[in-house]
Chains A and B, each alone.
Chain A
Amino acid sequence: MISATFNHPEGTTDTLQIDPGVSLMKAAVLNGIGNIIGECGGQAMCATCHVLVQPEYRDQLPPLGEDEDEMLDCAATERTEGSRLGCQLKAGEHFSAIEVDLPEAQ
Chain B
Amino acid sequence: MDATAAVRTGCPFTDKRSAVERAENAPTEMCSPVSETIGAGEMPVANWINVAELREDPYPTYARLRNESPVAWVPAIKKVLIASFAGCLFAEQHPEIFSNNVSGAHMTRAFGGQPMIRQDGADHSAERNVINQTLRPKKIKEVWEARFIANTQTYLDALEDGGPGADLNDVFAAPLAAKNLIDLLGLSCVAPADVARWSADFMAGAGNVLDDQDIWLRCQRSREELGSALDEAFARLRKNPDDSIISLLIHSGMPEESVRANVTLTISGGVSEPQHIMTSSVSLLTQHPEFLSWAQEEPTRFEQVFQETLRLQSPIAMITRETTTDTEVDGFRIPGGSQIGLLLASANRDVLAIENPDEFDPTHEARRHLGFGSGDHLCAGKWAAEAAVGRIAVPALYERFPTLRTDPAHPGTWNGWVFRGFSSLPVVW
Most chain B beta carbons < 10 A, residue from A22, A27, A41: A41
Contacting chain B: which of A6-14, A55-63, A67-75?
A67-75
Q: How near does chain A come to B224, taking the closest CB pair, in angstroms?
A: 33
Q: Known: A34-B9, A45-B132. Is A39-B378 also a contact (CB below 8 A)? A: yes
A2 to chain B, nearest CB (A): 12
B344 at the interface (CB under 8 A from A): no
Q: Is B412 an interface residue (CB 8 A)?
A: no
B1-22 interface mask toward A, CB cutoff 8 Å, 1 = contact, 0 = none? 1110101111100000000000
Question: Which residues of chain B come closer than 8 Å to A71, judged between CB atoms?
Answer: 136-137
Chain B residues near A29 (CB, 8 Å)?
7, 9-10, 93
From residue A28, how far is it (CB to closest CB) to chain B in Å?
A: 9
Known contacts A32-B5, A39-B374, A41-B374; is-contact A70 B136 (Cβ 8 Å): yes
Q: Which of B1, B2, B92, B137 has the most CB of A within 10 A?
A: B1
Is A43 an interface residue when CB atoms closer than 8 A count as contact?
yes
Contacts of B137 in A (CB 8 A): 70-71, 73-74
- Name the contact of B129 in the complex, choosing from A30, A36, A43 (C-beta under 8 A): A43
Is B375 in the interface zone, CB < 8 Å from A? yes
Is A80 located at the chain interface by the 8 A CB criterion?
Answer: no
Find chain A residues with CB under 8 A from B1 CB: 18-19, 22, 27, 30-31
Which residues in A have their C-beta under 8 angstroms from that of B375?
38-41
CA distance A105 to B129 in the complex (A): 26
B187 to chain A, nearest CB (A): 24
User: For chain B residues 362-384, which have a beta carbon within 8 Å of chain A?
Assistant: 366, 368, 372, 374-378, 380, 382-383
Binary contact track B273-290/A, C-beta < 8 Å → 1, others 0: 000000000000000000
Closest to A106 in B: B366
B90 CB, min distance to chain A CBs, angstroms: 10
Is B125 an interface position by the 8 A CB rule? yes
- Bound complex: CA A74 to CA B303 (Å): 14
The answer to whether the Cβ of A102 comes within 8 Å of any Cβ in the partner chain is: no
Give the shortest distance, in Å, between B374 (CB) and chain A (any CB).
6
Decide if A37 touches B10 in the complex (CB within 8 Å): yes
Any B CB within 8 A of the CB of A46: yes
Known: A18-B1, A45-B132, A45-B382. A30 touches B7 (CB 8 A): yes
Please, which residues of chain A bring their CB within 8 A of the CB of B218?
none
Nearest chain A CB to B110 CB, angstrom units = 26
Q: In whole angstroms, how far apart are the Cα atoms of A15 and B377 in the complex?
A: 29
Interface flag for B147 (CB, 8 Å): no
Is B95 a contact of A41 with CB atoms below 8 Å? yes
Q: List 21 A-B contacts (CB under 8 A).
A: A22-B1, A29-B7, A29-B9, A30-B1, A32-B7, A32-B8, A32-B9, A37-B11, A38-B375, A39-B11, A40-B378, A41-B92, A41-B376, A41-B377, A43-B132, A43-B376, A43-B378, A45-B382, A46-B382, A70-B136, A74-B137
- Can you name 15 extra interface pairs (CB under 8 A) apart from A37-B368, A45-B378? A18-B1, A29-B7, A30-B2, A30-B3, A30-B93, A31-B2, A37-B10, A41-B92, A41-B374, A45-B136, A45-B380, A46-B382, A71-B136, A74-B137, A76-B366
Residues of B whose CB lies within 8 Å of any CB of A are 1-3, 5, 7-11, 92-93, 95, 125, 128-129, 132, 135-138, 366, 368, 372, 374-378, 380, 382-383
